[in-house]
């Protein structure tokens, strides 16, 4: 499964970045995903859920996929056009001398840690919520 291999790659990168920054938990990862990367976002998200929950550092972390539009450049007339619509042939001059500018990336854009918003990281159970939060939301106490 192609997507699972990619997810393992992402998790390894996340672990390295987290360790280098002294972070022990990650709450979210934003991934740039090119239109012609060949990766299916739905499969990637499924693989992520399965694999990320097995690692303490990424357990419960959310994967956010940010699509990147594929753009091709024509060497003959110098224009840029949408790759998905027109493929390798320039729609303006019909030339085949074209090259992909962007759209193949599978790249981590951002890693979030729960420290940035601790109250948000504990949606179920008041055990880890600071007292101030409980006092501010008295209706939540059954
Ligand atoms: Zn052209």
**Distance from residue 88's CA to the centre of ligand 1 (Å):** 10
Rounded to whole angstroms, the Cα distance separating 66 from 29 reads: 10
Q: How far is the CA of 73 from the centre of ligand 1 (A)?
A: 8
pLDDT greater than 80 at residue 69: yes
pLDDT tens readout for residues 106-132: 999 999 998 755 444 444 444 444 444
Ligand 1 centre distance from Cα of residue 74 (Å): 5
Ligand 1 mean position to 123 CA, how many Å?
Answer: 53
Is residue 82 within a helix (H) or strand (E), and if so which, with residue range? Answer: strand 80-82
Confidence of residue 31 (pLDDT cuts 50, 70, 90): very high
Q: How far apart are the first and last CA of the chain?
A: 45
> Helix or strand or coil: residue 17?
helix
Pairing status of strand 28-34 against strand 62-68: parallel
pTM: 0.74
């Amino acid at each position: 499964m192609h997507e699972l291999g990619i997810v393992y790659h992402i998790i390894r990168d996340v672990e390295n970045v987290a360790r280098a920054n002294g972070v022990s938990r990650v709450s979210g990862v934003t991934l740039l995903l090119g239109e012609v990367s060949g990766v299916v976002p739905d499969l990637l998200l499924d693989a992520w859920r399965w694999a990320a929950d097995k690692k303490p550092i990424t357990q419960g972390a959310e994967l956010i996929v940010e699509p990147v539009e594929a753009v091709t450049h024509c060497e003959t007339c110098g224009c840029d056009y949408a790759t998905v619509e027109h493929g390798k042939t320039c729609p303006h001059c019909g030339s085949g001398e074209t090259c992909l500018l962007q759209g193949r990336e599978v790249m981590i854009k951002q890693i979030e840690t729960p420290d940035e918003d601790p109250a948000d990281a504990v949606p179920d159970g008041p055990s880890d919520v600071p007292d101030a939060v409980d006092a501010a939301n008295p209706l939540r106490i059954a």
